[in-house]
Amino acid sequence: MASNPEITDTCNPVPISQEDIEAADKLKNTANDYFKKQNYDTAIEYYTKAIEKNPNNAVLHANRSIANLRLENFGYALNDASTAISLDRSYTKAYYRRAAAHMSLGKYKLALKDFEYVTKVRPNDQDAKVKYNECNKIVKKIAFENAISVDKKEVSITDSINLDAMTIEDEYEGPELEDGKVTVKFVTELMNHYEQQKTLHKKYAYKILIDVKAYLQQQPSLIDIKVQDDEKFTVCGDIHGQYYDLMNIFKLNGLPSETNPYLFNGDFVDRGSFSVECIFTLFSFKLLYPNHFYMSRGNHETRDMNRMYGFMGEVTSKYTTQMADLFTEVYNWLPLAHCINGRVLVMHGGLFSKDNVTLDDIRNVDRNKQPPEDESDFLDRKFVSAPEVTPMAGRAPSRRGVGCQFGPDVTAAFIQSNGLDYVIRSHEVKDAGYEVAHNGKCITVFSAPNYCDTMGNLGAFITMNGKDLKPNFTSYEAVVSVKHNKII
């Protein structure tokens, strides 16, 4: 039998009465019922109550771990799984769940150790074998990339693409760029083309990516947006590859135009099966209306997230591995934040792990990179680790295992020192599609309804006018058939 992977947490059993053991079992059963109903928050509440009665039960910690995984609270899930292992070193489910948490946090080597242990203990577990092989491929790929990386300056994928060598086949009947440019006709036909689940020709796809990258390279890391007094402006949150819900936003709120500007606040891809369709639609609007259509970088516009949550595989399947790598280059140049009329700051995750950050600090960030490992590089890490809102004062470790949670005092100090009215962020699922927190000074908007086809949440977007910038919320349900947004 393989030796156990290193235990990160230890737990000494404490004396428990039979009465508390029985009470914990009842609470666990209640939690399990909520879990089956996909009510993970309530399930966690009851698992927590059960653990308070019987902290020695490894199953309780492991069950709370899987519930936290479903909510993407990867840091909490990791701690619970490690505690379960410390209580029962032969508990394979706990290793499996810790491996899943490590994977989600990009700690692939640690995940591989746990998956390896499970496959050796349970050699007939086919799912564990698949997960082990997937993780092993990622570890080897990363090692290979590190081995061949150029020390001084990486060679641009853009420079290796020869558009002239790409021919348009006679049988292609999809949308076409006009003189190499995105037009209203092109975008309209593209959206219809995608609704029929057809593919944009690779020559046009590559051209869009090359043009978007060239434009974004000229932009600062913080974009200042001017909205006129009588002009409507719309802010959307995470889309996550849910193309038909993206189309529903445009149906409800109108197509983007010079008189109907939009800002999409990161996490355009991953999870849903139509991420390619979402990102090319959004990038097309960006090229069509560069001064009236804006896009922020989210934590899913990164290489590791795209490996883990489907986008890289989707691009490779629909196009090529080369295009998947090109997307990484383009994402590196997406702006990190936008400021509307100098009064409303919009960024994907939230505020910082340090005080006294100014808008100029954000504006001057060198963003052309992947998430740094150095926690002290707080400006860069903030945008990709995506901090979370908490009602408690101060800062605390994030539930997701990276970044931090920030309280109302942190928000108040930041907006006061930077002359802001409030902050808009995204990143977290909310039942109504939005949440107003910190005395109205921190607003979350999430635009992917029924996230992952399991959460049952509404999506939402925010509209405001330039005069008062008062946020107005529109919530909406997912499109009728989940198969529209996820291949089943």
Q: Active-site residue numbers?
A: 300
- Strand 472-476 and strand 459-465: pairing? antiparallel
Determine how many CB atoms are found less than 10 A away from the CB of residue 374.
9
Residues 463, 297, 340: CA angle, nearest 5 degrees: 35
Strand order in the sheet with 388-389: 388-389, 404-406, 395-397
- Residue 38 — left, alpha, or beta (φ > 0 → left; ψ -120 to 50 → alpha)? left
- Could you tell me which residues are beta bridge partners of residue 476? 459
Question: In which element (H, E) is residue 233 found?
Answer: strand 232-236
Strand order in the sheet with 434-437: 222-225, 337-340, 344-347, 422-425, 442-445, 434-437
Q: Distance (Å, rounded) from C-alpha 367 to C-alpha 363?
A: 10
Give all strands (DSSP E) within 330-466, no chain letters: 337-340, 344-347, 388-389, 395-397, 404-406, 422-425, 434-437, 442-445, 459-465
To which residue do tokens 């069509």 refer?
A: 288
Q: Distance (Å, rounded) from C-alpha 45 to C-alpha 157?
A: 48
**Of 71, 81, 88, nearest in space to 102 by CA:** 81
Contacts 24+ apart (CB under 8 A), 134-138: 135/99, 135/103, 135/108, 135/111, 136/112, 138/108, 138/307, 138/308
**Of 249, 302, 244, 248, nearest in space to 275 by CA:** 244
